[in-house]
Amino acid sequence: MPKITSIASLTCWYRAYPWYFPYFLHSCSFNPSIDFYIITDNVEEIKNKPQNVKIVFKTLHEIKILASEKLGFTVNIDYPYKLCDFKPAYGFLFHFWGFSDLDIVFGSIRTFMTERILKQYDVISSHYHYITGSFCLFRNKEYVNRLFMKSKDYKMVLSDPTHFCFDECNFLFKELEKGTSILEIHNPIESMTYVVKKEEKESHLKAFFDFVIIEGLPGNIEWERGILIYKQLFEVMFYHLNQFKTSCSRQRTLKSIPLKYSFTRTKIIDK
């Protein structure tokens, strides 16, 4: 059997685990060939943690010291959400590669992250128009690990307390979804989307942008044994719970997560 390309995804989390965390873990267990690392200072016991979910204990202060030493200047990580701006530097800082969030329920990742795509491209995004902070993969090589340094603004971004959405597109979502190139938009911050698009245009790397994500509150999403289906027609790689996690009317886990359940706009229903 041919060896498959390894995939490791990293998330930093600094507070109590959220109500939807068991759904994240459950969906990870159906992707056993992928390693999910969670860097945290949370020492609470995690029930039903799959073997492919690895917990790495580091305080926020320890990450700040590590990042400052490796980057050569004092960074600002005074609150956990600021770590979003550091996602493009995770490969350089931790030698893991790929980043994701916890507010995710995965389908079958390997169905979409095929060997052809993994071998052909250096950067793989889950959205057609921009780099996605919810899940994105980077080839683990020196040039790609330092790619964030191609931004003229990276030192300012990582040393300023402001959140710049550096890992994605500096909040230019609506403009990019209209089809406008980020290279044609006047924008004071060179985000990772800008960097990747510029490097791709200059033939320094190959990037793959595809729409394999469901966001918002569309409803009609069904998860069954590691497969995620939208509208009973389209298989998707993951559902990003960015809105659902606060709009859900019953913010607690089903007593035992079943092998089949569905998302309405406001509820999780045991099928």
Encoded amino acid at 18, one letter = P
Position 1 pLDDT exceeds 80:
no
The confidence band for 3, taking pLDDT boundaries of 50, 70 and 90, is confident
Mean pLDDT of 23-38: 97
- What are 165-195's pLDDT values in tens digits? 999 999 999 999 999 999 999 888 999 999 9
Q: What are phi and psi of 27, to 5 degrees?
A: -70, -30
Q: Residue 121's pLDDT is what?
A: 97
Q: What's the whole-model pTM score?
A: 0.94
DSSP 150-165: GSTTHHHHHHSSS---
Q: Residue 97's pLDDT is what?
A: 80
Cα separation of 41 and 191, whole Å? Answer: 28
The confidence band for 94, taking pLDDT boundaries of 50, 70 and 90, is confident
Position 15 pLDDT exceeds 60:
yes
Mean pLDDT of 105-134: 97
Q: Residue 100's pLDDT is what?
A: 95
Q: Residue 181's pLDDT is what?
A: 97
In the chain, helix, strand, coil percent, each to 5? 30, 20, 50
Q: Residue 6's pLDDT is what?
A: 93
Q: Residue 96's pLDDT is what?
A: 63
What is the signed CA dihedral for 48, 215, 37, 138, rounded to 10 degrees?
A: 150
Percent of all residues in the chain with a pLDDT value above 70, rounded to a whole number: 99
> Average pLDDT of the chain?
95
